[in-house]
Each structure stands twice: as C-alpha cells, then as structure tokens.
Structure 1
C-alpha cells in the first residue's frame, strides 16, 4: 500500500464528500491530505505543489463538478509529463460503460462508484498501488 506519508489531493465540489474521503484516508493512516472544490482550483494547486518540490502523489477527484470536470482534470494531468505517472482515481455516481471507457482511455488509475465505503476505497487504492509500484519497477 502507499506509504503513510503519501500526499493526497481530494477534488470534489461537495465539502461533505471531501470530508468523507478525508476521514477514510485518515482511518487508513494518511494525514497529508489537501482539498480543492473543483478542477479549475485543483490544476494550479497540482502545478504549484510540483514546482515547490512537494508534488501530490495521489489525486482523488469527483467526475461531475462545475468549472472543470474530473475527467478534464484527469486529461490535463495525463497530458503533462510532470503528472502523467501520478495515480488518479475518479469518484462518481456514473456507472455507465461509456464513462468507464472514457476514463480508462484518459488514463485513470481506478474508478469508484458512489456510494462506497471505506473497504471499497481501500481495495481500489491497493489495486492502484499494485499497478503503480509495478510500473515504477518497470521504468
């Protein structure tokens, strides 16, 4: 699993959802967690954190948000060589096949459908860690 020092960014327009995800991360031992209320706010935060030498190491973003949707934030991150390898999880109420395919094509690390519980999020994070650590060894 990801080290306890992993720096997370939670992006969601609903503060309640950000609090829920933050609580789950806290229960899993993660305390280095920051929040943004949409993709438009998150993208400059991601860039600034990287430029400051303290990049986010895992991004969890809602799909449906005003300003900039999570899928657009994902695409922006994956298009930038600085963030291409950063694990990125989308959280959404959308479980339609076309959305899942679009996210996969864009390079999403994993996908969580709302509502979810802490075990579901933990399981998805473990899968992302397995993929990510295997990719790091191959690089």
Structure 2
C-alpha cells in the first residue's frame, strides 16, 4: 500500500502531548483511520470488527506492521532534550522556524511551506500556529506513516 500523509489541526493548548492524546482518542472514536483487518479487499467473512480501544488496536501484529495511516501511528510528543524516534512527534522549535521560514511565530499562512521542515516516516511533526497578534491559536500535527 505504501505510506500515507496525514495532517490535523486542533485548538491550542500549552501541553502538546495532551493535545496529541485528545486528538488520537477523537480519531480512534470516529473510526477515521485505516483498519487493515476490516478492509474491503478481504472477503466479507474474513473482515474483523474494529477494535474497542487503542490498546486493542495496537495489540494486533498486522497493525503494528502496517499502521493506521493516521495520527494513531504516533504515540507521544518528544521533549526538547529527547531524540525523535519511531512513533513520536517532534515539535518545530522557534529556532528551526526562524532558520527555515524567517519567523519564530508560525501562522496558518506558513502551513503551505511546512515541507521545509525535515521529517521521517513514522515520526510526526507539530507546530504551534499563532494569530496576527502573535498569540497561540492552534496546533498542527502532520506526518506520514503506514506500509
């Protein structure tokens, strides 16, 4: 199948990891992800119902390999002293934003240029977006995952 790109925007909150966890719950509850074991490529009698929890979802070995092609494929936001790894989200720093886009206060207008931020498969990115007065308004999460 190959990897899929994903992109989400949520209201700003100071705790980026809490925002990620809330978003993951919402996406899971809405069923807005690829469920490999229920795909219409399988005969009807072999399709499995969607899992009842995120834990149940990730217990499945096929999901561990193929992913969900969504925000569910990342589990936590890394801190400033952490090294991003498989299933994590790396925040864009003010220094990185300034070096690549000329400002440390990103806005929705900058989103079209987010391809300048380095990224790797199975590692998401996030950035705080500001209003015209420089106040944080939203958090954008993006990445690509899945096989």
TM range (shorter): 0.3 to 0.5
Higher share of residues assigned helix: 1
Q: Which structure features the higher share of strand residues? A: 2
Larger Rg: 2
Name the TM-score, length of structure 1 as normaliser.
Answer: 0.32
